[in-house]
Structure 1
Amino acid sequence: MRSSPAGSAQETVRGAIDLTIGRTEADERYLFGRILGLALDALGRIYVSDRQIGSVRGYGSAGEFLFQLGRTGDGPLEYKRYPSSTAILPDGHLWIVSFEDKVLRADPAQNDVSAGLEVVPVGSSRSWLYDGLLALDAERMLIATGGEPDRRDGLRRRRVSLRDGRTVSKTNPWALQPTPEEMGWRLSPKFSRAELAEAEEWNAVGYLYGLGGPPPYGTDRLMAFSTDGRVALAVTTTYRVDIYDSLLRPVTVIERDERGPQLTAAERRNAGVLMADRRREEKYYPYGDGDIPDRKPPLRDLWFDRDGRLWVERYLANEPREQGADVYGADGNHLFSTEWPRGVDFGLGAIRGDTGLGIQTDALGIQRVARVRFGGEEADA
């Protein structure tokens, strides 16, 4: 394992929105409810998995509706509840997770992608495979990226063979998995000892803390999963990311000595309003305005893109206008930094080459898909 600071790359690549899909008019083909998956194929077609609509829709490179892949129902090519994650895995196929139901696959190279939709037999994998993004490792073992964490034993990762349905489990302790107490989270006083004991039995104590924390800009955990099976872990208050391979073996550590920018007066007021709303909703919310830090944490989010690069999103001083990230290669070397217009969420990792698909959400909760092109222009000093 090696520790890697930021590399010598100094270029800051800017991104610009060149396409938006989503309307408020009556054409339902362009309306989204809750987007759970995004994918971009080699032909520039865009795939959108939507929980509320219950289907995966395909759009052309100009944003025009092309086809629909499945729908909610009880049929073999339908989603029992809804389609969740959607991604093109290293084998080139488009993979779709039907939540708590099945795994489906289609070949984007076909002229009629919808005609090639098929159910993938995954043997005795059971429901653990249907709870998040899928990954495909070098041994053609399918992985549910989320895994099953256990504070006592580490993380259990299960992989299922696409050849014979054989399921293999691997358990390994994770670094950077602090307890809620170590992260400074507070437990709401409303929970009884019996509830705490039950949560401990189900390894869900963090859930009880999570109901009340962290406060705005407080310490939080970050996890990212690559479609080749790698895992990245961090906490927001330290610029340190630990990366593991598909078998949960340590690969590298990315570490930088950085602090986040100071909160502006407006950001502090907005954080206070948010906490006041939480106190109204939750009588025993355990945080007050005095718990808002003076600075934002250095890290905001993590994700792997579809080329296997790790994007480490930072809080910026000019956050009202832009968002930004440092991008690292598979060996942990810093490739470049990037900035893009505020309000585009790339957390689903749907970025290939210099093109990314993100989600824009307006004040009314209406979602749109934004395509961002990252160019080679350097940022202004």
Structure 2
Amino acid sequence: MAIDSRGRVYVADGQTASVIVLSPSLAYDRMIGKRGEGPGEFQNVWSLQILPDDSLLVYDATVDRITVFAPGDSSHAAYTQDFRTTGISFSNMQRLPGRGDYVGRTSRAYYADGRNEDSLRVDVLRHLSWNDEVAMADSLFSFPSNEALVRRRGNSRGQAVSVAGHPFGRRSFTDVLDGDRVVYATSLALEITVVNVRDRIQKAFEYDTAPLPVTRQELRAAERRLRNFAGVLREGAPYTWPPITGMFVDNNERIWVGIRKIDRAILEWAAFDSTGEHWASVRLPSGFRPYAIRDDRIIGAGRDDLGVPYIQIYRLDSAAMNTIQLRPTDADGLVK
């Protein structure tokens, strides 16, 4: 999901392999693309990015290709870039603003026979540039992969593996900060690392967070949602919630971090500059997941009481911000 400078919202639709465009009031506008492998067509719309000129970048993970659509109301592809020549499959791809380069994230596959499972799984952030029209994919930074529930089984026909996201497991987040830098965060701590494409890595800032144990009710609810993995999930209990729920960068280069609170009904979303200076915090419902913030608009999605998905926009109110202070004495907040 993404939002451009005119307030239009772009939503990846997995069912139709297309991008749905909504007006600033969230009314249906049009659809971009369709299922296929030709220009402007997609197999799997994996991620969206609004470029500085309001062009829309769409990454198709199935065919390792980005398609860029010109700003305005055009639904015709301006150009495409194929990454299959690198020989590497990427789970995410973003363009560095103001440059023709990209950063991509690679992950290791799971195998039924359990090969390569004897060590910590890591993802790799790669810098992609072109030399005489040949794509170069240099490794920038390695970090722990998202934790998963893995279930292997065998029968007379062979072995099989099933994988699901771990509801209480570690996650890693990356987002582009500017033309030269990428931000990395882990769900295990409020700790921000900035990676420069010129191979410089620095820890930008960190804050302490309060641990929150997973309750029996929360564990049982997760077991019901993941019935096929309930046994695997129980084996690892008891759990502690990762304190960080997400991270992304807004159009003003502020780093937003989602922080769990003792009150399970809300999340704190705190904004920092790249030096760690706290700019603002807002409280949002825990069932609402923000995907992007542009100026004073927060765009995200959630599910209602009946499980029906919805898209919603919150407007940042300056009077409501900075109400959550970072005080060393606040056990439920952050400690510098």
Q: Do both share a fold (TM > 0.5)?
A: yes
- Write the deviation string for residues 140-176 of structure 1: whole angstroms up to 9, x where unpaired: 21232x2357979983514034x963322322453x6
**Greater per-residue strand proportion:** 2
Aligned to 1:58: 21
Indicate the residue corresponding to 2:94 in structure 1.
134
TM-score, length-scaled by structure 2: 0.74
Superimposed CA distance per residue, residues 250-296 of structure 1 (whole angstroms, 9 cap, x where no aligned partner): 13332122213566xxx532323423665x52475263595144xx4
Render the CA deviation track for 1:181-227: whole Å, top value 9, x for unaligned. Answer: xxxx9987969xxx9xx9xxxxxxxx99x75x85x54x513222226
What does residue 249 of structure 2 align with? 304
Other-structure match for 1:287: 234
Q: Which residue of 2 aligns with 1:221?
A: 171
Q: How does 1:251-266 map to 2 (within 5 A)?
A: 251-261=202-212
Answer yes or no: is 1:336 the counterpart of 2:287.
no
Residue number in structure 2 paired with 1:373: 315
2:106 equivalent in structure 1: 147
What is the alpha-carbon root mean square deviation over aligned residues? 3.9
TM-fit CA distance, 1:71: 0.9
- In the alignment, structure 2 segments of 5+ residues that lack a partner are 109-115, 326-336
For residues 242 and 75 of structure 1, what CA distance do their matches in structure 2 show? 38
Distance 2:33 2:242 in 1: 41
Write the distance in 2 (CA, Å) between the matches of 1:260 and 1:283: 24
1:240 matched to 2:191? The reply is yes
- Tell me how far apart the structure 1 counterparts of residues 239 and 66 of structure 2 sit (CA, whole Å): 43
Contact 1:153 1:173 (8 Å CA) reproduced: no
1:82 deviates by 3.0
Counterpart contact for 1:123–1:166, Cα < 8 Å: no
Identify if the C-alpha distance between structure 1 residues 315 and 135 changes in structure 2 by more than 3 Å, giving closer, same or farther: same
Please say if residues 14 and 44 of structure 2, whose CA atoms lie closer than 8 Å, have aligned partners that are also in contact.
Answer: yes
Aligned counterpart for 2:138 among listed residues 150, 160, 170: 170
> Judging changes above 3 Å, is the alpha-carbon distance between structure 1 residues 122 and 308 closer, same or farther for their aligned structure 2 residues?
farther
> Could you tell me the percent identity over the aligned residues?
19
1:160 aligns with 2:129: yes
Give the Cα separation in 1 of the matches to 2:139 and 2:7.
38
Q: In the alignment, what sits opposite 2:62?
A: 100
> After the TM superposition, which residues 7-22 of structure 1 pair with which residues of structure 2 at under 5 Å, given as runs?
none
- TM-superposed deviation, 1:374: 1.0
8 A contact 2:96–2:102 mirrored in 1: yes
Q: Say if 2:149 and 2:232, in contact at 8 Å, map to a contact too.
A: no
TM-score, reference length from structure 1: 0.67
- Bigger shift: residues 361-370 or 54-63: 361-370
User: Higher relative contact order at CA 8 Å, sep ≥6: structure 1 or structure 2?
Assistant: 1
Decide whether the 8 Å contact of 1:48 with 1:56 is kept in 2: yes
1:194-213 aligned within 5 A: none
Contact 2:267/2:284 (<8 A) preserved: yes
Tell whether 2:13 aligns with 1:44.
no
The equivalent residue for 1:323 is 267
Gaps of 5+ in 1: 1-37, 199-206
Count of aligned residue pairs for this structure pair: 308
Paired residue secondary structure (2:36): coil
